[in-house]
Structure 1
């Protein structure tokens, strides 16, 4: 999925920007909801939290895209993880 996003033209700095914008939008939505809706602080809190939860997703996508960018700069692909490889790396259990 990350490779596809990268091929579509999305870059890590765009995702980092989206994370910071969502933090600002979270604060703004809380203030706006509190000021202009007659639903009280509870509704404002829900709006702020809803939008605020987007930030970690944007930052995680930014990190993944940055890793993709670095692998492209270095001229090789990131190795894929396979469960059977992990099994082979685990130390053998000796026991009684």
Structure 2
């Protein structure tokens, strides 16, 4: 039901995958920023921030897979045109 609602709102599997990869980069950036901006708090706090943001990636990848499955079932999955041409030949 949640996946259907996200799909109806215009969220596609590609969006979730982009968010997953962005959260990986954001995790590293957050870790480095926390490490340099809060030198008195130490490495432990920076690690916690990096891990917190890094935990978003698996959630977005899972949403991407669920949306992809829904799109395949619904018939709205966007395929690479080269792949479609190869299958037609």
**Partner residue, 1:77:** none
Quote the Cα distance in structure 1 between the aligned partners of 2:6 and 2:75.
Answer: 17
1:39-83, Cα deviation, whole Å (9 max, x unpaired): 110000000000000000000000000011111118xxxxxxxxx
How many equivalent pairs are there? 74
What is the TM-score with the length of structure 1 in the denominator?
0.75
Structure 1 CA distance, aligned partners of 2:31 and 2:54?
10
> Structure 2: which 5+ residue stretches go unaligned?
77-89
Task: Name the structure 2 match of 1:2.
Answer: 3
Superposition TM-score, scaled by structure 2 size: 0.80
Structure number, greater radius of gyration: 1
CA RMSD of aligned residues (A): 1.0
Superposed, which structure 2 residues align to 1:1-96 within 5 Å?
1-37=2-38, 38-73=40-75
